[in-house]
A and B are shown apart, each in its own frame.
Chain A
Amino acid sequence: MKTLHPLTWWIWSLLTIGAVIHADSSWLAGSAVAVAAILVWRFSLAAPWAKSFWFSLKIGVFILIIRTIVGVLIGVPIPGTKLVTVPIVPLPHWLAGIRIGGVITQERLLSSIHEGLIIISVISLFGAAVSLTSPHKLLRVTPVAIYEFGVATVIATSALPNLVQSISRIRRARALRGDEKPSWRSIALPLLEDSLSRSLELAAAMDARGFGVSRKRSRYRPITWHGVDSAIVLTSALVLAVTLAVVR
């Protein structure tokens, strides 16, 4: 799998994201996440960025939970089967139309979970593309014409893997201070600083080595697009086409 074109998984996941959003179906979203998980588990290399997918999945689940709670408690009630009744929080009169608490219906709960699932699948498909592609290889195929964009892409795509790497290092160090379950707040600060300085270091190195000086770029070993790449992209294009045709 080493020889895949670096853009393959990115195109694949972007098309799949398109399909999931257009179809707006929890089934499709769920199966997209499952397929992505299998792909990452099977094909990702033992590289620092390979863990990004599982990290993005965790973030997705976190967002789902928060969204569901907020979605159920706040907003316009959808009529339907009643599950529980939560006391209504009194709000000032100028906030008319907004309600906190009240009747929680099954429909309201399901629609919140459904929206959350779509979000999870979008985030984790992005994570899968990061996991499956070397950010360094991606840089080599970025056209020089969009220099600033190229640098930004590399920093963005290498920031997530750096983040995952730093987290485990900092957690280990924190356990040594007797802090077995460090809070997010205490990790976030060193983490942000760490991955930011790494990304800046990388950008400086690219700058110093002449990236973007010449409008044209020669290739030492050309990265070629193979049949496998087309096949992978085709599968997701097919899924997108089907959803476009079926869902109106």
Chain B
Amino acid sequence: MINFSRVSLVYPTSTKTILEDLSFEISEGEMVLVIGSTGTGKSSLLRLINGLVPHHTGGILAGDISVDGISTRLVRPGELSHLVGIVGQNPAQGFVTDIVEEELAFGMEALNIAPDLMRKRVEEILDLLALSHLRDRAISTLSGGEQQRVAIGSALVMNPKVLVLDEPTSALDPIAAEEVLSILHRLVHDLSLTVVIAEHRLERVIGFADRIIHIAGDGSAEINLPEEILKRSDIAPPIVHLARALGLSQVGLSVRDVRRMTEEIRTNGRDPEVIAPVQADLAISTQNLSLSYQGKPALRDVTTNIYNGEIVALMGRNGAGKSSLLTTLVGLNNEAKGTSEICGRSSKDLKGKARREIVGFIPQEPSDLLYGQSVKGECAQADEDNECAAGTALALLERIVPAIDPNTHPRDLSEGQRLALALAIVLSAQPQVLILDEPTRGLDYQAKALLITLLKSFAKELNRSVLIATHDVELVAELCDRVIFLAEGEVVADGPTLEILLSSPAFAPQVAKVMSPRPWLTVSDVLRAVE
């Protein structure tokens, strides 16, 4: 179906070769997963399939790519729209209309398809993706998962033979992600659709993939069966790390397989010791916090206390009020009723320098915090703001990620490096509390591991507290002491990570699913138990 023969790709503004001499073939009805660290060219590879690269972005392409026998070199991306459907990293930026139904029809209108046929196909897609009840809704009012389904629907409505998705679940909560992936699985099996998907969170997609393309980052790439690639690759889901750590003979890819191999460990392992919580000083406290936007409640009577030295995860589905709670806490949202205090000071009174020194906040887009012309300039600005010795922030950054060229422009950094820079700037003010909104979106495993070490040392060594809003259960399992669960703006659960994550199957990390009913969440938990 898709044929790459001796493909090389170079962007004119960069000296790095993105892909070099890559040849492979993907047959009909296959689901292929593209993995690689950030910035290695996963998106470029996906966009080569329908010709957006190089037709839209520029770049020098050698070799030939053909889809269903049509060479992408000879036609514009639009002329492949009946053949290849593409769903971008951020579907909200790719919507061309306002209403769900119109969005679905857009591609067909462009191809001048007769109105009655359009009506029929739109109806089919609305049913297939369970979107019927949303047909008249404005797209901007939909939740992340719903938007993702609309984006997939508007690609599928053209009856393509190939569907290409770039990180389709990175913005979604575990339940919405599961929904989207099971729809894809069904399409592959029922309609023999060919699917190419790039994703960082392998634990979510690994069970569905037939083959994996691993892009190494030096231009080379390998395509093989998942078992073969994951045997050696450093990019691997927790379940594979578990198999490696336990020295299992095979790498199992599904929870079921690994469960069969680890029966003995489940019966013989020891339970973790219960560590009695140490009473510490109050860091964050809210009392009956309520907030509504245009009559719609976003937060309802949120009452919670967070203590020094604690790392707390704020979880919940898309639109449950996580971001509203965070912005209220740091004093960006002063319409809330009730009280919220950080280190004994009301959130509403936090201003300027005082805010910086009490609370460090990393927003969903860390680059919003950055405006300097270079990493060096950015750090110097932070030093000046905090009245500390020149070079403090830069030294901090060096500790977090070594070997960033200080003259690089912040825009040219990778996703992980940009987060590190924002963290270095925020931490150089030595805040009492650190708050992060979805920090692992778009981060690869390596960057995530770095983040975990950094946050742990911040909380435990300095005895300060960290609050993280996230969908990433693996991160929560590795990092957090406690989980606060929000639903419709209300706190529905609040307790130790172990208890909360094990109580709901949808939010359980992969290792916990394998080891259920034993209370082990991570690979290191299991290792400690069998020691």
Contact = CB atoms under 8 A, between A and B. Distances in A.
A211 B115 contact: no
Contacts of B86: 208
A21 interface: no
Given A139-B96, A170-B368, A207 B56 contact: yes
B118 A177 contact: no
B346 interface: no
A189 to B, nearest CB: 6
Chain B CB count within 10 A is highest, among A172, A175, A220, for A220
Nearest to A206: B96
Interface in B19-76: 50, 52, 55-56, 76
Interface stretch (B102-110, B225-233, B254-262, B275-283): B102-110
25 contacts: A140-B102, A172-B332, A174-B368, A174-B369, A176-B330, A176-B355, A176-B361, A178-B385, A190-B371, A198-B93, A202-B94, A203-B56, A204-B94, A205-B93, A207-B76, A208-B50, A209-B106, A209-B155, A210-B79, A213-B110, A218-B113, A218-B118, A220-B101, A220-B105, A220-B118
Given A176-B332, A177-B356, A218 B94 contact: no
A190 B356 contact: no
A210 B111 contact: yes
A176 B78 contact: no
A179 B378 CA distance: 14
Interface string B390-414: 0000000000000000000001000
Contacts of B355: 175-176, 178
Contact of B107 (A209, A216, A221): A209
A177 B98 contact: no
A18 interface: no
A173 B327 CA distance: 10
A201 B148 CA distance: 16
A201 B56 contact: no
Nearest to B114: A218
B140 interface: yes
For chain A, what secondary structure do more than half of its interface residues adopt (helix, strand, loop), or is it mixed?
helix
Give the bracket for the number of chain A residues in contact with chain B.
Answer: 35 or more
Interface of A: 46-48, 134, 136-137, 139-140, 144, 154, 169-170, 172-180, 182, 186-187, 189-190, 193, 198, 201-214, 216-221
Closest 7 CB pairs of A and B: A210-B81, A205-B94, A173-B368, A220-B105, A178-B356, A214-B112, A186-B371
Contacts of B114: 218
A178 B361 CA distance: 11
A173 B52 CA distance: 33
A172 to B, nearest CB: 5
Given A144-B110, A182-B371, 11 more contacts: A173-B365, A174-B371, A176-B332, A189-B371, A207-B55, A211-B106, A211-B110, A217-B110, A218-B109, A220-B119, A221-B101
B204 interface: no
Contacts of A209: 78, 81, 96, 106-107, 110, 154-155, 158
